[in-house]
Structure 1
Amino acid sequence: MTSSSTLRRRLHHGDVDGKRREHYDSSDYGSLGEPLLGGDRHNEQYTLEELLDDPARKVNLHWSFIFSQLLAQWAQWLANIVLGSKSLFGRFVTPALTSQPALFAPALTSTQEERLRKLQSRLKVPFDGNHIEHQDALKKLWRLAFPTREIPPLKSELWKEMGWQGTDPSTDFRGGGFISLENLIYFAEKYPESFQCLLHKQDGQRAEWEYPFAVAGINISFVLAQMLDLQSGKPTSTAGLRFLQLLGEDEMAFDDLYCVAFQMMDAQWLAKRASYMEFNDVLKSTRAQLERELALEDICSIKDLPAYNLLRR
């Protein structure tokens, strides 16, 4: 007998591989800042702060998820009362005085707070081509990508073979940061088969003008941080709230989600028969699919996402 989660996973692969064609208005996603790839964007763009300040957009949050959080809080309050409280009046009054934003940002556990703080600290570290640790990380990425080849100088035409746009990879980090290099290394180490397949464009019928692998990875790190609202003190987006749950269960949830997103992006790239100038459109549809999958009710870890099944070790 097929379980509901298995059936759901099959159904959603229609979205993962891009067969369900949808048109996305760029105004729904917020500005990607300075795009690293793709053509000009003609539609009006919004910053993340503008989206969150717009009450009409907040109404579109996943209310069933919010309601479940509220029920959990009520259950905790009731348990406190039943177990005995020095001030029943205080227990009833405190929830009533709770400000409205608490509905969008429920209280975090100590584990969630610590892991969120570490992740946000990682996001604040810019890539510095003069930093020895960052240089060593680039060299490590090369060894993982091309294990039988000699590491080139830090400025070399050979870096273009990995998908950097110039001879100096450090110039391509303007939209990301050191975490995007860490994400690429994590991808190469944990899912080497998928990493090599995407690096060398081995799956499907490829476009004549392909996306550069490494720079695409930087874009994905940036879009994920934006989608999950990680620049805020505490995420309030639907995807961000669900991600906090996953982060509480797995400290490497962001890095694993990055790998899923990269694999999903390539699947949509192939299904849409996209070319270089359409990269931003593919990123937007990838983001939309990730948001849909994160909103599924039975997602308890990154491995529960339908698109996780696309990854190969």
Structure 2
Amino acid sequence: MSSRALRRRLQNEDIGGGSHDRCETSASDALSQPLLADGDHDYNKPKEGTSLGDILDEERRKEDPHWTIVFSNVIVQWAQWIANIVLGSGSLLARIIVPLISGSEDNNPLPPVLLSPLQEARLKYLKQRLSIPFDGTCSDHQDALGLLWRLAYPDRTLPALKSEVWKDMGWQGSDPSTDFRGGGFISLENLIFFAKTYPESFQNLLHKRDGVRSEWEYPFAVAGINISFMLVQMLDLQSGNPSKLAGQRFLQMLSHDDTAFDNLFCVAFRMLDAQWLAKHASYMEFNEVLKSTRTQLEREMALEDVSGVKDLPAYNLLRI
């Protein structure tokens, strides 16, 4: 199957399946689980006071290496060497092997890649963004939250910091700051970027304009926080050098686009909504849809001709 045909299949079938001024904080917020996490979900509710890095380190410790994993890692590295060195990235075997590596990479970390100075600098800056918790007492963070409201509802009055009106945007309570534990300040930046860069797509998702919707819809803003957190795990961004294929492909994207993470967030949000509609899902199925969104995004990032976010088949969803 050609790469172009595979891209069409992924897009048409599998979907059916700012300012960076920071406020000082004495301690980072806890990282919350996604909406309605079930017992089998990868994300477990942490103890209070746990940082983003602590959570992801704990997730990796759960994947204890075994001799079978070590052996299979050798096989994966050998296959990757054959595909990339001997036959070249454009070969038929390479097209077959890359998806196989993608499917098994969680238990078989790939060798680290050599980063260019530009990649190192952008990755370092992204990690700095990830380390910032949302602080509801910080004026800069309050202003950013107000900016998101004005972008979402340009004709409505900005509500007080604590108001039942915030639920209209998809916060779970009257105080949005209580929902930011999951993604930190970067999740708010992601939402603002989405609203500024793809305003029509943002508004369509916010107001649930597309398709036949469930009577019990996912809350927009909190869904965005969950997507930010999912991307951090999927891309292995808390490691020194990502060892997952998706993470290494993301570094390639980062070398071309310093806003690659924010753009990928927008794509992932549109993918989630497309999966939601295709599955006729309701609120209680949010985590299942989030999982399938991650799987689909990983598969698209494994395509050989994807070097930037705009090369992803699902990027076209932002134009709808």
TM-score by length of 2: 0.77
Identity of aligned residues (%): 59
Residue 138 of structure 2 is matched in structure 1 by: 131
Structure 1 vs Structure 2 CA RMSD: 2.7
Task: Give the 3 Å change call, closer, same or farther, for CA 70–304 of structure 1 in structure 2.
Answer: closer
Moved more, 50-59 or 290-299: 50-59
Residues 1:254 and 2:261 aligned together: yes
Distance 1:245 1:194 in 2: 26
1:276 and 2:290 matched: no
Q: Which residue of 1 aligns with 2:59?
A: 48
Q: Where does residue 118 of structure 2 map in the other structure?
A: 111
1:236 counterpart (238, 243, 248): 243
Say if 1:48 and 1:226, in contact at 8 Å, map to a contact too. Answer: no
* Residue equivalent to 1:216: 223
Amino acid at match of 2:245: T
The equivalent of 2:158 in structure 1 is 151
Aligned length: 270
1:165 correspondence with 2:172: yes
How far does residue 215 in structure 1 lie from its aligned partner after superposition? 0.2
Residue 190 of structure 2 aligns with an amino acid whose one-letter code is N
Deviation string for 1:213-270 (max 9, x for gaps)? 0000000000000100001111111111111111111111111000000000000011
Contact 1:239 1:291 in 2 (8 A): yes
Q: Runs of 5+ in structure 2 lacking a partner?
A: 18-30, 45-57, 87-107
Q: Do the aligned residues in 1 keep the contact of 2:151 with 2:196 (CA within 8 Å)?
A: yes
Distance 1:258 1:69, change over 3 A: farther
- Which of the numbers 181, 204, 207 marks the counterpart of 1:200? 207
Give 1:70-109 correspondences, 5 Å limit.
71=85, 104-109=111-116
- What residue identity is the alignment partner of 1:213? F
TM-superposed deviation, 1:34: 3.7
AA paired with 1:308? Y
Report the CA distance shift for 1:43/1:57 in structure 2 as closer, same or farther (over 3 A). farther
Q: Which of 246, 262, 270 lines up with 1:263 in the alignment?
A: 270
Instruction: Give, in whole Å, the separation in 2 of the partners of 1:43 and 1:303.
Output: 30
Which consecutive unaligned segments of at least 5 residues does structure 1 have?
20-32, 73-100
- Greater shift after overlay, 142-151 or 37-46? 37-46
Residue 67 of structure 1 aligns with an amino acid whose one-letter code is W
Q: 1:14 aligns with which of 3, 12, 15?
A: 12
Q: 1:42 to 1:191 in 2, by over 3 A?
A: same
Q: Is the 8 A contact 2:253 2:308 kept in 1?
A: yes
Task: Specify whether residues 203 and 247 from structure 1 end up closer, same or farther in structure 2 by C-alpha distance, changes over 3 A only.
Answer: same
User: Would the aligned equivalents of 2:110 and 2:245 in 1 still touch at CA under 8 Å?
Assistant: no
Provide the rounded CA distance (Å) in 2 between the counterparts of 1:105 and 1:193.
39
Q: Which residue of structure 1 lines up, in the alignment, with residue 308 of structure 2? A: 301
Q: Structure 2 counterpart of 1:174, which letter? A: R
| 1:225 aligned onto 2:232 | yes
